[in-house]
């Protein structure tokens, strides 16, 4: 006779003990490793599931239903926390069917929305209603985790209902709660907190989705509304971040920056906001601010990942579980520390803060060589970081600019010793269009791009030539430029509609990076060998080289000016004047920015003063 | 080429139970790396939980590179290479996982079959390759490296770049090379951002060794070697005169070496590997030296391949694990090996070609070399004895198979020619007898297998006897199953007889006649043993050869229990229980009798007076019977034995005696044989006939006996009077209670069947 109540009490007790154990483990979650908490979660879910099967072993009964639904909720939470969505979904489906069965309704439908409407209706205003709503919240969680936002939209009117009633489930006055402690089943996750979490996460996910679809203004208003919701700092920061992205999308960079700033103020660990603001600065051309942002971003990324602050316990269902859609992860993605460091270094060098840039380059190289650096999974960021040899060459260039030729030469030696053995005797550069993407990178190591290898070695020689020119060791410079030229001429061009003799500027752009680099390198090395010869007073050789250089790369003004100079010195003053005039008439360099750092005109070395040249022309005209 | 001998010295003995464990010799100490492995060798050393650093299941290999511990294991559908960070402080042993790499499984087509026999032994190889010189590595790494140098190799920089890319070379990143059971060789540059596991080569058989050799003066290896379980070896070298571009390429030379490769190791120029029956040395330096001398690009691969063809034997057998060889300053090489029997051995290899004059050796060294020689002799002896036993067992097996084939041939020939049973070289005949066991009478069948062939029937032969009721109608479907017994026997020499006895029916169980089929069965597995058959003739495991010998019939006459006066007396006195049972039977049958309401004349001479209700008789021309039986009169009649031949019947008939017996169901039977004259009334054709009359209260007994008698007479007829008989001389007279229609029907149908 006493059997049913005592059984019920036993089950409630069992459930409550499990819930307490769960909560204890969560409270200690900051200390123990992630692995451990996962295993304890697994244990909890299996225990809850066992209990649930015991309870569901008897036909649905009004007295038991409250307990049963509570246990269903707890099991569901545990399953969801472990990303076992299909199991959780199955549980929910069974539970709704049992509720319907108990209330005497029957819905012969597999459509979850219809089913839920039926359940809500049948639960009506009974004592079950809050529990059914909580179940609905869990369904909501699942849909959100599985990015089924359209279902959530359908349920929106129900969810508004939800938030009003959900308050009443676990959350009562303290005394009431104490009174019920022994009698009523406890819940693993507080329904109120869950609804709050769900609401803000849904807003964020929907905002991201709308932003993705281009409905920025619509998304913006939603996100602004969401930013006032009660939630953790990180989530609020996300709403600001997304608002900023919307504004950036709507072409309001300054307002976007404000939003990113707000995001950072809310949560100082919101690296993404920093990254996004950096992108805005880049877009605005504010180099100083961009560098500042990059530096901050890098130092933030280098911070050890601090343990999450334990405030009021961690909940099994984390925001990261709910914010897993692709559009969100794309919005929240941040490049790795190494590629940030690289961007910083390059930006510094390009914007004239070379000394700083050199430091960053050296840091980067050290990081790449360090013992701690390991092949950690990097997905999309690999492409941001250039090939290691290019890094060496860029660093070498930066070193040369800061007048450290010896260091530059050391780096170049490294590059040469690595590549020279692999440089083929002859290489044919054909179908440049197909070579552009550098898709050979991922294919095979054996067939690593021979052309690239050659270009790297040649560039290293070129840099070494520049170093010697910087040191005014002209003989050595000539030697190294010659080596560079010898490598470059190994490449045979083979293309149906391309004439290597007279390349037009637009052809350079159209054809591949390799080809462009090749022509540029040929022009530079010949011109600088010519300049070196000039310095050694070997004017005939100098003239030959400079003219060849102009053939290979007519856009290079340095070669034109020096060609005139040599002609002048040879006494062919009118030719010289014509040459200078022609050079000045050329439009200034078009595609220098796109060239790698090491292929840009070296700032060191002997220079010609245009004013002085014009004076000479004037004198020539006078005589 | 006999270059010299190697000395084998046993250092220690481990108690292996002979299983195939993966044994790895690690030289040096100080590594605090332990791993929990599901398939570890029998635990003699207890490892405490504190030492557990990584709890991972089914780790197939592991490697320590600097402060990183790598494990390789197979998860659901991919290979998983996991990286763990070893803690800097020794306080905590737990290693932190910080990265993992997946490589999807491929369905290994050909190695699957071979693997399945050997159980779930999935080994993999994990080694670490560094670029360039030993000195080039960072100093912090050096200390760790010295302890675990076993799996670390320094490869020539050019080859390194060709195989693993310039990035890895520039970053001075060690490269992890793993050989998988599916034959793939994969590599992973350890310290390169965004690197992933990539396939370098596929051996298409389980990789069991990967190493680097042909070490130059500068201390780096010029050749990467990978060996597969079934002897396929790939040598990876730099080929300078390779492609049309004139730049260096990596040349992959594949070849096969004899024998399975159990384990291997490398020294500066040689690859040592064990095939189980021998330890072989492959000199890899020849190829490269030949190239340097001759400068002929085409022949490089040729000479390398040639080097693969001619491994030199070191005459050490059963080596299951090898450690990195140690080279002494004098130039001789010492190998550390573990044998299959668990011996830890030190193997000293001969110095090579530059043997100095042996006469100059000091006396201590002479003593040592004598000891070395002795131990070498001992090892060769051991190897020779192993080989001898193998050869002996194979010869034995061949001889047995030859006999089996000859015997099969004999028996097959028998079935084709129609020899009488008694003239067959291997024949089988049987006797029946009643015996009493545990107060239950049962009819026993004794089968005699007589071997008069010139061959010995040896191991692997089994006499199989199948007893099945002739008529299946007596029992409902399903129950008419035959019983099958087999009697394995050893060595039945020519002229010997093997006796097998089996119960065929219990008293009261009357499903006669029965057919007894005897056959000889030869099976490989009983000859060789299960494992050996499974190993060498997979697929023949359950197959055997069955050769039919003869088919015998046990009929009602065989099953009769004769009541000689003595026998009955015995029964009555010795076994009162049986008498009681009989009286119960009597009671029951009398009740039955009363029910049927028919009285009959009482048999005066029957020991237990029972009214014979049914009777049948057969008349045979006495002349015919006499003629038939004349040549075979020598046979004797034993009252204790059941009748085996019609001659017994004839004897009974001739003496006009009355035989009282009991049928298998306990019913009394009276067999009367007497000479009568038939047809004297109407014609001159007077003929003396023998009438055999069968009387019993039990209808089945009468029918059965009648059938048996008829059969036998018929058999005699067909056998001997084939040509003479033109007219049937048999007469049938039934003295049956015709008032019983079912019985009549039964008998007529029985007769119909008989003469069909």
Contacts of A382 in chain B (CB under 8 A): 193-194
- Describe chain A by its helix, strand, coil percentages, rounded to 5: 70, 0, 25
β-strand B426-437 against B483-488: which pairing, if any? unpaired
Q: Is B168 exposed, middle or buried (CB count within 10 Å of its CB: 0-12, 13-18, 19+)?
A: buried
Phi, psi of B656 (to 5 degrees): 45, 30
Q: Which stretches in chain A have pLDDT values below 70?
A: 1-5, 25-38, 107-108, 125, 156-183, 305-315, 371-384, 430-448, 494-512, 587-594, 603-605, 622-623
Contact partners, residue A154, CB within 8 Å, separation at least 6: A113
Q: What is the C-alpha to C-alpha distance for residues A591 and A51, in angstroms, rounded to an integer?
A: 71
Question: How is residue B630 annotated by DSSP?
Answer: G
Say if CB B265 and CB B316 are below 8 A apart: no
Phi, psi of B333 (to 5 degrees): -110, 135
Contacts of B68 in chain A (CB under 8 A): 374
Q: What is the pLDDT of residue A56?
A: 79
Q: Which among B73, B172, B26 is positioned nearest to B83, based on CA atoms?
A: B73
Where do the CATH 2.60.40.10 domains begin and end in chain B?
421-554
Q: Could you tell me where the DSSP H helices lie in A59-190? A: 62-81, 85-102, 112-123, 129-145, 149-154, 156-170, 174-181
Q: Tokens 């195939």 identify what position?
A: B20
A411, A421, A443, A454: best to mutate for the B interface, most B CBs within 10 A: A421
Measured over the CA atoms of residue A347, residue A353, residue A356 and residue A362, the dihedral's sign is positive
Contacts of B167 in chain A (CB under 8 A): 387-389
Asked if B167 and A388 come within 8 Å (Cβ–Cβ), the reply is yes
β-strand B333-339 against B319-322: which pairing, if any? antiparallel
Q: Could you tell me where the DSSP H helices lie in A318-449? A: 319-322, 326-332, 337-350, 354-369, 388-401, 405-419, 432-435, 440-443
Q: What is the pLDDT of residues B503-528, one digit of tens each?
A: 777 666 656 777 888 888 887 777 66
Asked if A446 and B250 come within 8 Å (Cβ–Cβ), the reply is yes
Measured over the CA atoms of residue A402, residue A403, residue A407 and residue A410, the dihedral's sign is positive
Q: What is the C-alpha to C-alpha distance for residues A28 and B406, in angstroms, rounded to an integer?
A: 81
B481, two tokens: 């199953």
Asked if B171 and A421 come within 8 Å (Cβ–Cβ), the reply is no
Say if CB A194 and CB A213 are below 8 A apart: no
- Cα A577 to Cα A330, A563, A585, B48, B361: the distances in Å are 57, 10, 12, 89, 91
Q: How would DSSP label each residue in A276-291?
A: HHHHHHHHHT-HHHHH
Contacts of A371 in chain B (CB under 8 A): 66-67, 138, 140-141, 191
Q: Which among B229, B281, B283 is positioned nearest to B260, based on CA atoms?
A: B229
Q: Does A381 touch chain B (CB under 8 A)?
A: yes
Q: Does B185 touch chain A (CB under 8 A)?
A: no
Q: Which among B210, B203, B174, B239 is positioned nearest to B108, based on CA atoms?
A: B203
Asked if A375 and B170 come within 8 Å (Cβ–Cβ), the reply is no
Contacts of B169 in chain A (CB under 8 A): 418
| Pick from B163, B193, B247: CB nearest A338 | B193
Q: Which among A340, A469, A348 is positioned nearest to A400, based on CA atoms?
A: A469
Asked if B249 and A446 come within 8 Å (Cβ–Cβ), the reply is yes
Q: Does A376 touch chain B (CB under 8 A)?
A: yes
Q: What is the pLDDT of residue A395?
A: 92
B142, two tokens: 């050096």
Q: Which CATH number fits domain B421-554: 3.40.50.150, 3.65.10.10, 2.60.40.10, 1.10.3720.10?
A: 2.60.40.10
Q: Does A373 touch chain B (CB under 8 A)?
A: yes
Asked if B194 and A423 come within 8 Å (Cβ–Cβ), the reply is no
Contact partners, residue B30, CB within 8 Å, separation at least 6: B147
Q: Which among A611, A605, A554, A606 is positioned nearest to A583, based on CA atoms?
A: A554
Q: What is the pLDDT of residue B653?
A: 45
CA angle (A215, A218, A224) in 5-degree steps: 130
Contacts of A305 in chain B (CB under 8 A): none
Q: How would DSSP label each residue in B307-371?
A: HHH-PEE-----EEEE---EE-TTS-EEEEEEETTSEEEEEEPP--S-PPPGGG--HHHHHHHHH
Segments making up each domain of chain A, as ranges = 3-173+184-189, 204-303+320-332, 427-441+465-622
Q: Which among B66, B27, B10 is positioned nearest to B265, based on CA atoms?
A: B27
Q: Per this entry, what is the length of chain B?
A: 756
Question: How is residue B487 annotated by DSSP?
Answer: E
Contact partners, residue A396, CB within 8 Å, separation at least 6: A407, A408, A409, A411, A412, A415, A460, A463, A598
Portion 155-184 of B in contact with A at CB < 8 A:
157-158, 161-167, 169-173
Q: How would DSSP label each residue in B697-712?
A: S-HHHHHHHHHHHHHH
Tell me: domain A204-303+320-332, CATH 1.20.1250.20, correct? Answer: no
Q: Which among A527, A406, A413 is positioned nearest to A467, based on CA atoms?
A: A406
- Between chain A and chain B, the number of residue pairs with CB atoms below 8 A apart is 100
Q: How would DSSP label each residue in A586-608?
A: SPPPSSGGGS-GGGSPPSSS---
Tell me: domain A427-441+465-622, CATH 1.25.40.10, correct? Answer: yes
Q: What is the C-alpha to C-alpha distance for residues B357 and B380, in angstroms, rounded to an integer?
A: 25
Q: What is the C-alpha to C-alpha distance for residues B39 and B20, in angstroms, rounded to an integer?
A: 11
Q: What is the C-alpha to C-alpha distance for residues B353 and B356, in angstroms, rounded to an integer?
A: 9
Q: What is the pLDDT of residue A235?
A: 85
- Cα A7 to Cα A127, B183, B739: the distances in Å are 21, 60, 78
Asked if B246 and A385 come within 8 Å (Cβ–Cβ), the reply is no
Longest dimension (CA), chain B: 132
Q: Does A459 touch chain B (CB under 8 A)?
A: no
Q: Which stretches in chain B have pLDDT values below 70?
A: 1-57, 88-95, 107-122, 133-150, 241-247, 286-309, 328-331, 350-364, 414-423, 437, 470-481, 506-511, 527-542, 562-613, 620-659, 664, 673-690, 712-756
Contact partners, residue A317, CB within 8 Å, separation at least 6: A77, A80, A81, A141, A189, A194, A197
Contacts of B190 in chain A (CB under 8 A): 374-375
Q: Per this entry, what is the length of chain A?
A: 623
| Pick from A374, A377, A450: CB nearest B245 | A450
Same fold, A204-303+320-332 and A427-441+465-622: yes
Longest dimension (CA), chain A: 130
Say if CB B694 and CB B586 are below 8 A apart: no
């Amino acid at each position: 006779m006493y059997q049913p109540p005592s059984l019920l009490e036993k089950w409630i007790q069992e459930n409550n003990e499990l819930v307490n154990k769960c909560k204890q483990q969560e409270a200690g979650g900051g200390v123990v490793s992630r692995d451990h908490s996962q295993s304890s979660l697994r244990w909890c879910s299996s225990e809850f599931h066992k209990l649930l099967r015991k309870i569901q072993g008897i036909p649905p009964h009004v007295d038991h239903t409250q307990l049963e639904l509570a246990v269903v909720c707890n099991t569901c939470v545990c399953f969801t926390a472990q990303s076992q969505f299909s199991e959780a979904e199955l549980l929910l489906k069974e539970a709704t069917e049992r509720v319907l069965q108990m209330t005497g309704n029957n819905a012969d439908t597999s459509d979850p929305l219809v089913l839920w409407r039926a359940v809500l209706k049948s639960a009506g205003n009974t004592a079950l209603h809050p529990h059914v709503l909580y179940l609905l919240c869990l369904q909501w969680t699942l849909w959100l985790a599985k990015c089924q936002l359209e279902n959530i939209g359908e349920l929106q009117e129900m969810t508004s209902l939800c938030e009003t009633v959900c308050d009443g489930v676990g959350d009562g006055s303290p005394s009431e709660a104490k009174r019920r402690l022994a009698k009523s089943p406890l819940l693993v996750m507080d329904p109120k907190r869950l609804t709050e979490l769900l609401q803000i996460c849904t807003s964020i996910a929907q905002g991201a989705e709308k932003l993705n679809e281009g409905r920025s203004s619509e998304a913006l208003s939603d996100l602004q509304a969401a930013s006032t919701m009660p939630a953790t700092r990180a989530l609020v920061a996300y709403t600001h971040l997304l608002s900023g992205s919307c504004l950036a999308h709507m072409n309001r960079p300054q307002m976007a920056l404000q939003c990113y700033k707000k995001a950072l103020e809310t949560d100082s660990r919101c690296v993404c906001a920093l990254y996004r603001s950096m992108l805005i600065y880049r877009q605005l051309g504010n180099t100083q601010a961009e560098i500042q942002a990059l530096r901050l971003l890098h130092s933030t990324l280098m911070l050890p990942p601090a343990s999450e602050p334990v405030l009021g316990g961690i909940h099994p269902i984390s925001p990261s579980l709910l914010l897993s859609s692709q559009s969100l992860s794309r919005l929240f993605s941040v490049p790795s520390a190494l590629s940030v460091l690289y961007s910083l270094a390059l930006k510094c060098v390009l914007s004239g803060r070379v000394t700083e840039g050199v430091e960053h380059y050296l840091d980067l190289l050290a990081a790449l060589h360090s013992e701690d650096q390991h092949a950690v999974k990097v997905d999309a960021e690999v492409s941001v970081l250039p090939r290691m040899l290019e890094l060496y060459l860029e660093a070498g260039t930066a070193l040369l600019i800061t007048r450290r030729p010896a260091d530059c030469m050391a780096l170049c030696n490294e590059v040469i010793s690595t590549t020279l053995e692999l440089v083929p005797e002859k290489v044919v550069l054909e179908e440049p269009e197909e070579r552009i993407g550098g898709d050979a990178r991922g294919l095979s190591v054996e067939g690593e791009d021979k052309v690239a290898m050659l270009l790297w070695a040649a560039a290293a020689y070129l840099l070494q030539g520049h170093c010697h020119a910087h040191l005014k060791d002209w003989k050595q410079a000539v030697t190294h430029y010659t080596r560079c030229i010898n490598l470059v001429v190994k490449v045979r061009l083979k293309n149906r509609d391309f004439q290597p003799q007279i390349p037009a500027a637009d052809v350079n752009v159209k054809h591949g990076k390799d080809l462009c680099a090749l022509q540029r390198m040929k022009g530079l090395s010949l011109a600088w060998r010519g300049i070196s010869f000039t310095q050694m007073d070997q004017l005939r050789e100098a003239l030959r080289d400079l003219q060849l250089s102009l053939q290979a790369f007519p856009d290079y003004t340095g070669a034109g000016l020096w060609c005139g100079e040599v002609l002048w010195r040879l006494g062919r003053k009118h030719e010289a004047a014509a040459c200078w005039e022609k050079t000045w008439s050329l439009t200034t360099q078009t595609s220098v920015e796109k060239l790698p750092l090491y292929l840009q005109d070296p700032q060191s070395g002997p220079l010609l003063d245009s004013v002085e040249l014009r004076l000479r022309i004037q004198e020539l005209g006078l005589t | 080429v006999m270059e010299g001998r190697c000395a084998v010295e046993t250092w220690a003995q481990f108690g292996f139970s002979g299983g195939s464990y993966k044994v790895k010799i690690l030289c040096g100490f100080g590594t605090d790396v332990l791993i929990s492995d599901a398939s570890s060798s029998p635990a003699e050393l207890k490892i405490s939980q504190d030492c557990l650093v990584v709890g991972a299941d089914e780790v197939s290999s592991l490697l320590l590179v600097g402060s990183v511990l790598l494990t390789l294991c197979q998860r659901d559908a991919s290979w998983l290479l996991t990286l763990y960070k070893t803690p800097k402080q020794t306080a905590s042993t737990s290693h932190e996982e910080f990265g993992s790499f997946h490589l999807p499984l491929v369905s290994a087509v050909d190695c699957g079959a071979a693997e399945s026999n050997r159980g779930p032994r999935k080994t993999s190889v994990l080694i670490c390759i560094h670029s360039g010189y030993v000195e080039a590595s960072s100093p912090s790494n050096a200390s760790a490296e010295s302890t675990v140098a076993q799996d670390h190799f320094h490869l020539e920089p050019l080859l390194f770049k060709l195989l693993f890319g310039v990035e890895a070379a520039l970053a001075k990143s060690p490269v992890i090379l793993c050989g998988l059971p599916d034959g793939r060789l994969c590599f992973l540059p350890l310290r390169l951002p965004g690197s992933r596991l990539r396939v370098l080569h596929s051996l298409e058989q389980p990789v069991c060794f990967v190493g680097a050799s042909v070490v130059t003066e500068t201390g780096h290896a010029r050749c990467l070697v990978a060996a597969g379980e079934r002897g396929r070896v790939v040598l990876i070298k730099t080929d300078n005169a390779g492609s049309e571009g004139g730049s260096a390429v990596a040349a992959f030379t594949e070849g096969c070496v004899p024998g399975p490769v159990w384990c291997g190791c490398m020294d500066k120029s040689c690859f040592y590997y064990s095939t189980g029956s021998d330890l072989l040395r492959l000199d890899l330096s020849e190829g490269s030296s030949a190239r340097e001398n001759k400068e002929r690009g085409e022949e490089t691969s040729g000479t390398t391949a040639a080097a693969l063809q001619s491994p030199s034997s070191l005459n050490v057998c059963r080596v299951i694990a090898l450690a990195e060889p140690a080279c002494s300053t004098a130039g001789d090489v010492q190998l550390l090996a573990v044998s299959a029997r668990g011996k830890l051995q030190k193997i000293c290899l001969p110095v090579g070609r530059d043997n100095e004059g042996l006469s100059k050796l000091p006396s201590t060294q002479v003593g040592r070399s004598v000891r070395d020689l002795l131990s070498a002799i001992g090892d060769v002896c051991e190897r020779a004895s192993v080989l001898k036993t193998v050869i002996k067992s194979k010869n034995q097996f061949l001889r047995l198979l030859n006999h089996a084939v000859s015997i099969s041939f004999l028996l097959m020939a028998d079935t084709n020619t129609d020899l009488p049973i008694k003239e067959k070289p291997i024949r089988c005949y049987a006797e029946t007898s009643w015996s009493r066991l545990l107060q239950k009478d049962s009819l026993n069948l004794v089968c005699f297998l007589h071997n008069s062939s010139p061959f010995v029937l040896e191991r692997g032969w089994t006499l199989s006897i199948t007893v099945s009721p002739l008529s299946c109608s007596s029992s409902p479907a399903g129950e008419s199953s035959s019983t099958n017994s087999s009697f394995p026997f050893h060595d039945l020499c020519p002229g010997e007889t093997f006796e097998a006895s089996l119960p065929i029916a219990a008293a009261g169980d009357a499903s006669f006649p029965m057919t007894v089929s005897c056959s000889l069965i030869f099976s490989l597995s009983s000859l060789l043993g299960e494992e050996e058959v499974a190993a060498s003739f997979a697929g023949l495991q359950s197959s055997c050869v069955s050769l039919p010998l003869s088919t015998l019939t046990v009929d009602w006459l065989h099953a009769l229990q004769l009541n000689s006066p003595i026998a009955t007396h015995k029964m009555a006195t010795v076994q009162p229980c049986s008498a009681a049972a009989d009286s119960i039977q009597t009671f029951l049958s009398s009740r039955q009798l009363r029910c049927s309401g028919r009285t009959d004349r009482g048999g005066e001479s029957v020991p237990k007076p029972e009214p014979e209700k049914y009777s049948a008789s057969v008349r045979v021309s006495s002349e015919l019977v006499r003629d038939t039986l004349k040549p075979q009169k020598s046979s004797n009649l034993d009252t204790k034995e059941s009748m085996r031949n019609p001659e017994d019947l004839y004897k009974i008939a001739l003496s006009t005696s009355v035989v009282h017996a009991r049928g298998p169901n306990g019913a009394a039977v009276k067999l009367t044989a007497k000479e009568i004259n038939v047809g004297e009334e109407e014609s001159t054709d007077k003929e003396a006939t023998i009438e055999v009359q069968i009387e019993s209260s039990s209808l089945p007994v009468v029918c059965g006996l009648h059938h048996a008698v008829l059969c036998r007479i018929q058999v005699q007829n067909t056998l001997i009077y084939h040509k003479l008989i033109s007219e049937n001389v048999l007469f049938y007279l039934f003295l049956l209670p015709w008032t019983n229609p079912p019985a009549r029907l039964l008998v007529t149908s029985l007769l119909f069947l008989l003469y069909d």
